[in-house]
């Protein structure tokens, strides 16, 4: 069994904390006016970049499962890949959906239910707005799996992934510019559709390809340029944080700069040996449960918002604290009750071909190798 990579769990932990911050309930007015409140609001305003971090990580990690399998066996089994993805994603997703029905916007129609269940909510009206990124990932990985099957079955090679990823990074940028020029901007349309957002995933796949097939060259590049990778990442990410996700710059060139900046941090993290102190372990554990936390943080917020008013000091601030506590604890609890048991079952029924010694004991590797969103 291969060990989990703490540094990648740390990135997932950062991503999910940003996402939970973005979905946070409003601070009370007096608190918002304070320096601490302003800092919290800034964190919430920039929290949307956590989803883009998830997209790059997802492209990197899940394509890495395919690349590992190809390197070990010289081929790729699409059915096993999709079944294993299904065991990872679907149980928690559908359970959260059905338990969340009393809290979603009415009316709950059959068409909206089918849209949500079929991962079409980023094109049509589903039941939950925050799951659009899961739809982008499902569309992307079905396409990626079919593409890798074609390349490995017909050509027995994956070198074509480089130009394909380059095209998949360029075309969404072109589509976003065309949409900005031709269609009045709508946040729920221009920023969530798969053909407009799959470039971040494709960039993650590109990094993963070099990591698995040109590891030494990639490490030499990172070691040679590591002094400027972090400043470059900050410079690329910062404009999106400053302008916000609704600005024309962010929507066009900004999203491209954002995932490239995230890629700089990912490269640095790959060849970093983080200290195993309490803070790092705590953040890594949060990253380990990040998919489940992502699913359940909105239901947690809805439950907190339904709380009746109590005339006690700092009640509004306590609701914010309760939102964070409930989001993390509920996500971890549901991961242990649902996600991890299904992963153990999956590894008994469909052991991974990309891991040595895959089997019932490989659940930690499998959980760590797959992105939460």
Q: What is the pLDDT of residues 183-197, one digit of tens each?
A: 888 888 889 999 999
Query: Mutual orientation of helices 255-270 and 6-22 as an angle, nearest 10°?
Result: 150
Looking up tokens 């890798």 gives 148
Using DSSP's 3-state secondary structure scheme, residue 214 falls into: coil
- pLDDT reported for residue 358: 36
Q: What is the mean pLDDT of the chain?
A: 89
- pLDDT reported for residue 28: 65
- pLDDT reported for residue 329: 97
- Cα(271)–Cα(267) distance, rounded to whole angstroms? 7
Model confidence over 254-266: pLDDT tens digits? 999 999 999 999 9
- Cα(75)–Cα(368) distance, rounded to whole angstroms? 23
Which stretches of the chain score pLDDT less than 50? 1-2, 356-373
Among residues 164, 169, 139, the alpha carbon closest in space to that of 151 is found at 164
- pLDDT reported for residue 31: 64
Model confidence over 30-68: pLDDT tens digits? 666 667 667 778 888 899 999 999 999 999 999 999 999
**Helix, strand, coil tally for the chain in percent (to 5):** 75, 0, 25
Q: How many CB atoms lie within 10 A of CB 185?
A: 13
Given a contact cutoff of 8 angstroms between Cβ atoms, the answer to whether 33 and 319 are in contact is no
- pLDDT reported for residue 36: 67
- Cα(301)–Cα(305) distance, rounded to whole angstroms? 6
- pLDDT reported for residue 2: 42
Burial class of residue 110, CB neighbours in 10 A (0-12, 13-18, 19+): exposed
DSSP state of 152: I
Looking up tokens 């065991």 gives 87
């Amino acid at each position: 069994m291969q060990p989990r990579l703490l540094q990648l769990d740390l990135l997932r932990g950062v991503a999910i904390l940003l996402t939970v911050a973005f979905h946070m309930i409003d601070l009370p007015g007096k608190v918002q006016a304070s320096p601490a409140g302003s800092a919290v609001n800034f964190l919430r305003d920039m929290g949307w970049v956590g989803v883009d971090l998830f997209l790059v990580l997802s492209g990197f990690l899940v394509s890495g499962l395919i690349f590992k399998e190809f390197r070990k066996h010289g081929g790729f089994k699409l059915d096993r890949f999709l079944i294993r993805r299904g065991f990872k994603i679907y149980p928690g997703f559908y359970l959260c959906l059905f338990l969340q029905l009393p809290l979603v916007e009415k009316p709950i129609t059959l068409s909206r239910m089918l849209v949500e269940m079929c991962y079409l909510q980023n094109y049509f009206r589903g039941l939950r707005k925050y799951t659009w990124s899961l739809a982008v990932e499902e569309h992307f990985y079905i396409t990626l799996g079919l593409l890798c099957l074609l390349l490995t079955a017909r050509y027995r090679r994956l070198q074509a992934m480089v130009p394909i990823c380059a095209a998949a990074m360029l075309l969404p940028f072109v589509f976003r510019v065309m949409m900005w020029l031709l269609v009045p901007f709508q946040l729920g349309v221009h920023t969530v559709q798969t053909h407009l957002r799959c470039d971040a995933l494709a960039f993650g796949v590109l990094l993963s390809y070099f990591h698995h097939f040109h590891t030494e060259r990639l490490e030499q590049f990172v070691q040679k340029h590591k002094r400027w990778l972090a400043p470059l990442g900050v410079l690329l990410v910062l404009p999106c944080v400053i302008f916000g996700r609704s600005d024309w710059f962010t929507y066009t060139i900004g999203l491209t700069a954002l995932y490239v900046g995230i890629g700089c941090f990912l490269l640095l993290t790959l060849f970093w040996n983080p200290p195993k102190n309490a803070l790092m372990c705590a953040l890594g554990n949060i990253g380990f449960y990040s998919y489940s936390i992502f699913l359940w943080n909105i239901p947690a917020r809805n439950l907190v918002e339904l709380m009746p008013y109590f005339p006690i000091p700092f009640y509004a601030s306590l609701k914010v604290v309760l939102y964070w506590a409930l989001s993390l604890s509920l996500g971890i609890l549901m991961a242990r009750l649902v996600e991890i048991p299904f992963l153990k079952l999956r590894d008994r029924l469909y052991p991974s071909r990309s891991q040595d010694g895959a089997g019932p004991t490989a659940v930690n590797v499998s959980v760590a190798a797959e992105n939460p969103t």
